[in-house]
Amino acid sequence: MLKERLEPLLLKVQKPARYVGGEYNSVVKDRAQVKTRLALCFPDSYEIGMSHLGLKILYSLINAREDCWAERVYAPWPDMEALMREKGLPLYGLESFDPLTAFDFIGFSLQYELSYTNILNMLDLGGINPLAAERGNGDPIVWMGGPCAMNAEPLCDFADLVQLGEGEEIMLEMIDLYQKHKASGHWDKKAFLRDAARIPGMYVPSLYDVSYNPDGTVAAITPKDGAPAKITKRICKDMDKAFYPETFVVPYTEVVHDRAVLEVMRGCIRGCRFCQAGFIYRPLRAKSPDVLCSQGRSLCETTGYEEMSLASLSTSDHPQVEEMLDKIIDYTLEEKINLSLPSLRVDNFSKELLDKVNRVRKTGLTFAPEAGTQRLRDVINKGVTEEEIMRTSRIAFEGGYTGVKLYFMMGLPTETEEDLLGITRLGQKIVDLYYSLPAKPKGKAVNVTISVSTFVPKPFTPFQWCAQDTYDTIVKKHDFLRHSLTTRKISLNYHEVRTSVLEGVLARGDRRLGRVIYTAWKKGCKFDSWEELFDFDKWKEAMDEAGLTMEFYASRERSPEEILPWDHIDAGVTKAFFLREYEKAKRAEITPNCKEHCAGCGANKLIGGGRCIG
C-alpha cells in the first residue's frame, strides 16, 4: 500500500504532517460503499490549501452524500515531490492514500493565476496526462472552478469541465449526471461532456472553437454540439438556505488561516473598478444574524478552535451588521474565543456596540486607499476619503496605537507623478498628525507602513480593456516613490513586479496560452507565486517558443469592439455596464454604492430581477 511506501520518506522532508492525513474531522469512507469519488485539489501547498474556505464547503457538501467521497489533495513541496518521483510514488488523496487515477473526478480550485503550473504538475504526479485531448475515455474527469474560472481560457487544454460561479448546486448536478451516465453501462466521456454542457453554469471548453484574427485578437468563439452560446455563472440565491459546513478538518500542523471562518455574505456593493471579486460575486446576498450565530457555534464546538474570523468582501456593508456583531461578540466573549474583526466603518454604531467592538482584541490599523489622490480614488471608485483616514487614525492614536498600515496600488489607469506623490504625502500627513496630538502614546515613535502592489487589469472589471504598466514603468515609479520619501517613520514595501506581469498575461489570456503554460511547466516552472521558486526567464522562453509576446496580453489597450476571450462567459454584470464604468473612470466620475443607488449592473437578473438590496 502507498501509505507504507510513504512512511520512510516522511522523516526526510520538511513538515511531514502535511502528507499524512488523519486530521480530526477528516472523512474516511469505505471504498466499496461509495459510487463516486472526487479529489478536491488546491494547486498550492497544504498550508494555503487548508486555509481555503471554498474547498471546505465543497468537501463537507459532497461528503454529506452517502454515495460520494471527497478527499483533499495539495501540491507537495518540491522536497517531497522529488522523493515521490524518485521512488515512483503517485500523488494521492489524503483520506484514502489512493492515487489520483483511482478517482472519478479531479477538481482544481482556481484562486490565482500563478498557481496554474501546479495543476499540470499535480496531474502528472498523480499519473494523469495534463492534456485533456490525450486522456482516454476511462481517465478521471478533470474539472475546475473558482474566481479564475471566469476566464479559464488559458487552461482549456487541460480541463474537461469548468464550473462558473458558486459550486454548491452545480457540483451535485454534475455528480448526478455522471452517475446516470455510468449506470447506463456504456460510459462515453464525450457524451457525458455534451450532456454536462446543458447544466446551467457548466462550461465545456472542448465544445467551443476559437478562431483568431491576423493581429492575434479573437475572431470568433463558436459553440458546437448544442453547447450554449453564453454560459451564465451560478449563484446560491438564498444564503440562509445555502449549505454550510457544521465542522472543519482541524490540521495537525499550523496552516495560514487556522481558525473557524464564518462566511457572512457574498458579493459587494462598493463597485471599486479594479476589483474583480467585487463584480464576479455580485449580487450581494447576506446571511441573517441568527443563522451566522448557529453556524459559528457549531464550528467552534466541533473543531475546538479558539479563534473565529468573519469572511466577506466588506463586512461593514452587511445589512444587519450591528445585530450580527452584537450577537457574535457576545458568544465569543462568553466562550473565550478570540474574534478577529476586520476594519469596520463604525459611524452608525451605538455607544454600547462600539464599546463591545473595542473589547475585542485588535489586530492593527489598516487602510486601503489604493491610490494617493482623491482624483485617482475617484477614477477607481474607491470610496475612502483622506478625512476618514485622518479621523480614524486620530482616534486610534489617542487610544494607544502607534502604527498604521496603508495599502496602495501602482500603475492604475490615468496615474501621474502627482498621484504617486500623493501616496507619500498621505503617509507624511499621518506622521504629522501623530506628533500634533497631545494625547499620543508617550515616548513612542510612529510607524506608517506603505505597501504598494502592482495593478493588474482583470476580466469582468471596467478596466478589462486597459493596458497594464510595463515592468520598466513600474520599476521607474518605484524609484520615484522611494526618492519622494523624506522620513524614516514611513516604511515602504513593494511586491515583486515580474510576477505581476505574468499574472496580467494569464488573467486576460486566451487559449493559445495553454501551450505556454505547458512549456513553462515542462521547463520546470511550479509554485510560481513563491518568489524563491519563480523563474521569469523560463516563462519568457515559453512565450517565445509559442510565438507570443507578454506585451500583447498585458500591456495592450483593447478597443471596446474587440471580442474578448471571455465574451462567451456571463458573470451577471453586463459588458455594457463595464464599458459605462470605464468611460466614467476616465472622467474621474464616481458611481454610488448599490445601497445608495442601483447602477444597473445587470447582476440582479441572477436573482430573478428587481432590487438586490435596500
Partner 1 sequence: MDNARTIVVEGAPVYEYRAFYRKFSRAKYISHLDLYRTIQRSFQRSKLPIWFTQGFNPHIYLTFALPIALGYEGVEESFDFRLRENLPEEEILSRLNAAFPEGITVTRAAAPQKKPEEIEKAQYTLLFSAGNIPAEKLLADFDAFLAQDAILTEKRTKKGLREIDLKPGIFASQTGLTGDAVLLAVTLPAGTAQNLNPTLLTGAFAAAKGLSLDYRLIRRDAVLCKDGSRFR
Cβ proximity of 282 and 247 under 8 Å: no
20 binds partner 1 (CB under 8 A): yes
Phi then psi dihedrals of residue 377, to 5 deg: -65, -30
Q: Could you give the string, one character per residue 420-449, with x where binding to partner 1 holds by CB under 8 A and - elsewhere?
A: ------------------------------
Q: In what order do the strands lie in the sheet with 490-494?
A: 366-370, 403-410, 447-454, 490-494
Which helix H or strand E contains 295, and what residues bound it? helix 289-303
User: Smallest distance from the beta carbon of 23 to partner 1, in angstroms?
Assistant: 6
Q: Of 71-79, 95-103, 191-199, 252-260, which segment contacts partner 1 by CB under 8 A?
A: 252-260
Cα-based distances in Å from 460 to 16, 148, 507, 591? 40, 11, 11, 17
Q: Which of 5, 22, 256, 432 binds partner 1 (CB under 8 A)?
A: 22
Q: Of 247-255, 366-374, 402-410, 524-532, which segment contacts partner 1 by CB under 8 A?
A: 247-255
CB-nearer residue toward partner 1: 3 or 391: 3
Q: Which of 34, 172, 236, 250 binds partner 1 (CB under 8 A)?
A: 250
CB-nearer residue toward partner 1: 298 or 484: 298
Q: At what angle do helices 471-484 and 497-507 cross, to 10 degrees?
A: 140
Cβ proximity of 174 and 106 under 8 Å: no
| Cβ contacts of 84-90, under 8 Å, gap ≥ 24 | 84/9, 84/125, 85/125, 87/5, 87/9, 89/2, 89/5, 89/6, 89/9, 90/2, 90/125, 90/126, 90/127
CB-nearer residue toward partner 1: 350 or 358: 358
CB-nearer residue toward partner 1: 10 or 311: 10
User: Smallest distance from the beta carbon of 46 to partner 1, in angstroms?
Assistant: 12
23 binds partner 1 (CB under 8 A): yes
User: Smallest distance from the beta carbon of 335 to partner 1, in angstroms?
Assistant: 9
CB-nearer residue toward partner 1: 244 or 305: 305
Phi then psi dihedrals of residue 339, to 5 deg: -100, 125
610 exposure class (CB count in 10 Å sphere: 0-12, 13-18, 19+): exposed
CB-nearer residue toward partner 1: 14 or 486: 14
C-alpha cell at 373: 489622490
User: What contacts 267, CB < 8 A, 6 or more positions away?
Assistant: 281, 282, 283, 284, 285, 313, 603, 612
Q: Which of 176, 306, 541, 562 binds partner 1 (CB under 8 A)?
A: 306
Residue type, 502: L
Cβ proximity of 297 and 331 under 8 Å: yes
Whole-angstrom distance, CA of residue 541 vs CA of residue 545: 6
Q: Could you give the string, one character per residue 329-368, with x where binding to partner 1 holds by CB under 8 A and - elsewhere?
A: -------x-x----------------------x-------
495 exposure class (CB count in 10 Å sphere: 0-12, 13-18, 19+): middle
Q: Which of 252, 471, 536, 552 binds partner 1 (CB under 8 A)?
A: 252
C-alpha cell at 103: 478517482
Count of chain residues binding partner 1 (CB under 8 A): 26
Q: Which of 67, 301, 432, 496 binds partner 1 (CB under 8 A)?
A: 301
CB-nearer residue toward partner 1: 300 or 517: 300
Cα-based distances in Å from 333 to 359, 365, 574? 9, 22, 44
16 binds partner 1 (CB under 8 A): yes
Q: Which of 31, 219, 294, 304 binds partner 1 (CB under 8 A)?
A: 304
Cα-based distances in Å from 451 to 143, 324, 345? 36, 31, 21
Whole-angstrom distance, CA of residue 33 vs CA of residue 28: 11
Whole-angstrom distance, CA of residue 321 vs CA of residue 264: 10
46 binds partner 1 (CB under 8 A): no
549 exposure class (CB count in 10 Å sphere: 0-12, 13-18, 19+): middle
CB-nearer residue toward partner 1: 224 or 359: 359
Q: Of 60-68, 110-118, 304-312, 522-530, which segment contacts partner 1 by CB under 8 A?
A: 304-312
Instruction: Give the CA count within 13 Å in the CB-facing half-sphere of 161.
Output: 28
Q: Which of 51, 303, 393, 591 binds partner 1 (CB under 8 A)?
A: 303
Q: Of 151-159, 277-285, 303-311, 377-385, which segment contacts partner 1 by CB under 8 A?
A: 303-311
Q: Of 18-26, 382-390, 416-424, 481-489, which segment contacts partner 1 by CB under 8 A?
A: 18-26
Q: Which of 101, 217, 232, 302 binds partner 1 (CB under 8 A)?
A: 302
305 binds partner 1 (CB under 8 A): yes
209 binds partner 1 (CB under 8 A): no
Number of residues that this document lists for the chain: 614
User: Smallest distance from the beta carbon of 16 to partner 1, in angstroms?
Assistant: 4
66 binds partner 1 (CB under 8 A): no
CB-nearer residue toward partner 1: 89 or 120: 89
User: Smallest distance from the beta carbon of 369 to partner 1, in angstroms?
Assistant: 31
Q: Which of 17, 53, 236, 329 binds partner 1 (CB under 8 A)?
A: 17
Q: Which of 67, 77, 10, 3 is nearest to 38 (CA)?
A: 67
CB-nearer residue toward partner 1: 73 or 162: 73
- Helix or strand or coil: residue 359? helix
Whole-angstrom distance, CA of residue 569 vs CA of residue 346: 38
Q: Which of 101, 179, 232, 253 binds partner 1 (CB under 8 A)?
A: 253
21 binds partner 1 (CB under 8 A): yes
Instruction: Give the CA count within 13 Å in the CB-facing half-sphere of 334.
Output: 8
Q: Of 32-40, 295-303, 478-486, 487-495, which segment contacts partner 1 by CB under 8 A?
A: 295-303
Q: Which of 115, 46, 16, 106 is nearest to 70 (CA)?
A: 106
User: Smallest distance from the beta carbon of 24 to partner 1, in angstroms?
Assistant: 4
CB-nearer residue toward partner 1: 21 or 457: 21
Binding-site ranges for partner 1 (CB under 8 A): 8, 10-12, 15-17, 20-24, 250, 252-254, 300-306, 336, 338, 361
